[in-house]
């Protein structure tokens, strides 16, 4: 297993449906989203490249904008791709 910290726009744009990621959420996001934990894992539902969003889970509306993550202004603090 290989863990790859996602740190560039290109890395995020290459993500596809079914890729497995680990997301570290901001304290603000946890406080305002019921059922969200500090660190959660997901199989990506959709990569909306047109608006720079990774849809992690539809139930509970778990998603983040990766351009904002790269600028440190996102509800997600960090994202890691898991490769098997």
Decide: 83 and 2 in contact? Cβ < 8 Å: yes
DSSP for 9-57, written as a single string? HHHHHT--TT-EEEEEE-HHHHHHSTT--SEEEEE--EEEGGGTEEEEE
Domain ranges of the chain: 2-83
pLDDT in tens, 30-66: 999 888 999 999 999 999 999 999 999 999 899 999 9
CA distance 61 to 57: 6
Q: Look-up: residue for tokens 């660190």?
A: 39
The whole-model pTM stands at 0.94
pLDDT in tens, 12-29: 999 999 999 999 999 999
């Amino acid at each position: 297993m290989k863990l790859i910290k996602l740190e560039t726009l290109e890395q995020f744009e290459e993500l596809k449906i079914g890729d497995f990621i680990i997301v570290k959420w901001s304290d603000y996001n946890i406080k305002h989203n019921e059922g969200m934990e500090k660190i959660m894992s997901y199989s990506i539902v959709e990569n909306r490249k047109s608006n720079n969003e990774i849809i992690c889970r539809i139930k509970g509306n778990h998603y983040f904008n990766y351009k904002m993550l790269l600028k440190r202004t996102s509800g997600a603090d960090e994202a890691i791709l898991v490769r098997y």
